[in-house]
Amino acid sequence: MSKSANPYRVAWPIAWTLIALILAIVALIIFWRLESWPARTARQSASELERLGKNVRSAFIDIANLQPRITINDRVYMEQTTPVSELVVLSRRIEVEHELLHTWAGSSKRVKLHGTFIAKAGFDLRKGISIDIRQDEIMVQLPHAQILGAEQQQVDVLAFENGLWNRISGQDVQSELAVLPDLARKKAAESSLNAEAEETLRQQLQQRIHTAQPLRLIFKDEKKGE
């Protein structure tokens, strides 16, 4: 009996040694995972932010054919490569009128014109645009929207009246025609077109950038341009 029990007495220490070795290995793996968790999380976060940076770049290429300067946590990720000077977001039909009435020596001449223009609102990208992507938000800095142009569509002559000796000259007509685009731009700037352009851009970006982070547009100009 004593000889048959010897193998068991030898096996138990070996078994306990193996168990202790397995527990030590498991503890070492758990410790290593805990130690490396911040680095692995950082790598995953950086990878996610870079993926988001590519989405933002694609959104601007779709909207403006522009690859803007993009930073991730203040580190440059992409430099601006496409030289685009303007981004038109909205267009609106604008109608204006202007009248010349001049009297000399009792003789009056009168010219009245009606102009139809397409006013374009958007952003002057020469003033700079930058994007910074962070864990808690996407921050886009760009100038305020402004009226980028007023394209003439039609001009109608509402009045063209010569005086007996006070005649309408070609210079009179040219001067009146030159006034109309400025009036159209001023009228468009005084409307809500610029504010609508800013909101339109915000909506376009939100529709194209699918992310949980809030999108914040910061307009750098203190005063909107006309």
52 CB contacts (<8 Å, ≥6 apart)?
133, 138, 209, 211, 213
| Domain-embedded: residue 151 | yes
| Domain-embedded: residue 136 | yes
**Could you give the angle at which helices 193-208 and 2-64 cross, rounded to 10 degrees?**
150
Residues in the chain: 226
| Domain-embedded: residue 33 | no
- pTM metric for this prediction: 0.67
| Domain-embedded: residue 13 | no
| Domain-embedded: residue 25 | no
User: What are φ and ψ of residue 122, in 5° steps?
Assistant: 180, -145
Residue 128 backbone zone (phi > 0: left; psi -120 to 50: alpha; other: beta): left
| Domain-embedded: residue 11 | no
> Dmax over Cα atoms in the chain, in whole Å?
147
156 CB contacts (<8 Å, ≥6 apart)?
113, 114, 115
> Which residues constitute the domain of residue 148?
54-219
Least confident of 90-99, 104-113, 200-209, 213-222: 213-222
| Domain-embedded: residue 225 | no
- In this model, does residue 196 exceed pLDDT 80? yes
pLDDT of residue 30: 67
pLDDT digits (tens, 9 = 90+) for 108-155: 999 999 999 999 999 988 887 888 888 888 888 889 999 999 999 999
| Domain-embedded: residue 46 | no
* C-alpha span between 46 and 6 (Å, rounded): 60
What total number of domains does the chain contain? 1
* C-alpha span between 94 and 187 (Å, rounded): 8
